[in-house]
Amino acid sequence: MKVRTTFSYLLLASASFLSLFPLFWTISTSIKDRVDTYTLPPKFFNFSPTFKNYHSLFSMDKFWEIYWNSILITFGSTLICLVLGSLAAYAFARKPKFRGRGPLEGLMIAVRALPGIVLLLPIYKLSSYFGLYDSKIALILIYAGFNLPFAIWLLMSFFEQIPIEIEESARVDGASNFRMFTKIILPIAAPGLVATGIFVSLLSWNEFLIPVIMAGENAKTLPVLVASFISNRTLDWGPMAAAATVALVPIVLLTVVIQRWLVAGLSSGAVKE
């Protein structure tokens, strides 16, 4: 038994090291001088930190505009997912069978199953036809469409935990469905809404395929900017690591906030509860 415990600790510790090392390495590269980055053996701690890379990243043409685009698109699409998703999830959670449930679930699973490129080819063509190429609104709508099923599954698991008796007593008082939903259900499910919101934000924040196809200069998002570093002939790892860090740090912070719901959120939609 003792051997097994030691082995488990060893395994978890080394896996944790491997999980964190790339993150550590990105952040440390981002605060290294050029000389300290391009050297062997690699410098893990023995360097003097500098913010030069951030300085050159932040002074980049359009950096702040791109950062703002990412925030705006993330926020907009998350809002749509929460509004539409909570309505649909509530119906799913409260009514096991209704007409159109099967097809809708099938459609949701199809969104999860299909590679984005399959939908983005026609979406690209359609939006350039309607003049929506490189538009932030179009990006918000597409992100929301792609993430809505995930939001519904996750919200559903929260709504299902609300005891039905609460609704029944409200119904006796003559509350309409929608009133009850907004005045009673949503406040109770608030933590679930927050958790879902954060998860959908993460998905949107990380999204790359949609903006790389649908965004030009006007609606460019952070992942596209981060990716554009590698197309330069001279690879400059410092600013590149700074850009990656700027993308990653908000995630790590949010993860700490949603620690409690992390497991439910990450496995949502994979398994029916």
Partner 1 sequence: MVTKLSGPRATSKRSKGKNLRPVAHFTVPTWIFLFLTILIPFIYGIYISFLNINLASFLPASFIGFDNYLNVLRAPETWSTFQITLVITFFGLLVQIPLGIILALALHENLRGTKIFRSILITPMLLTPVAVGLTYRFMFDTDLGVVNWMLGLLNIEKVNWLGSQTSALFAIIIVDSWQSIPFVMLLVLAALTAISPSLYEAARVDGASSSQIFRNLTLPLITPTLLVITMIKIMDFLKLFDTLFILTRGGPGNATTTLGLWTYKTGFIFLELSRAAALGVIVAIISLPVYFLWRKASKGVR
Q: Which stretch binds partner 1 (CB under 8 A): 16-24, 46-54, 60-68, 187-195?
A: 16-24
* 171-210: contacts with partner 1 (CB under 8 A): 171, 174, 176-179, 181, 202, 205-206, 208-209
Residues with Cβ within 8 Å of 160's Cβ and at least 6 positions away in sequence, in order, are 93, 273
Q: Does 8 bind partner 1 (CB under 8 A)?
A: yes
156 touching partner 1, by CB under 8 A: no
Q: CB 22 → partner 1: shortest distance, Å?
A: 5
Least gap, CB of 55 to partner 1 (angstroms): 19
The count of other CB atoms within 10 Å of the CB of residue 238 is 22
Residue 24 CB, nearest approach to partner 1 (Å): 10
Interface characters, 68-87, with partner 1 (x: CB under 8 A): ------------x--xxx-x
Q: Which stretch binds partner 1 (CB under 8 A): 46-54, 59-67, 187-195, 224-232?
A: 224-232
Number of residues located near partner 1, criterion CB under 8 A: 108
Residue from 57, 123, 132, 200 touching partner 1 (CB under 8 A): that is 123
Does 233 bind partner 1 (CB under 8 A)? Our answer is no
State the Cα–Cα distance between residues 133 and 48, nearest whole angstrom.
45
C-alpha 15/C-alpha 10 separation (Å) is 8
Question: Does residue 252 touch partner 1 according to CB under 8 A?
Answer: yes
Q: Could you say whether residue 257 binds partner 1 (CB under 8 A)?
A: no
3-state SS track over 173-207: CCCCHHHHHHHHHHHHCHHHHHHHHHHHHHHHHHC
d(CA 192, CA 157) in angstroms, rounded, equals 9
Segment 18-37, which members bind partner 1 (CB under 8 A)?
Answer: 18-20, 22-23, 25-26, 29, 37
DSSP structure class, residue 260: G
Give exposure, 196-227, as e/b (b: 16+ Cβ within 10 Å). bbbbbbbbbbebeebbebbbeeebbbbbbbbe
**Which token pair is 72?**
């705006």
Site for partner 1 contains 253 (CB under 8 A): no
Count of Cβ atoms closer than 10 Å to residue 273 Cβ: 10
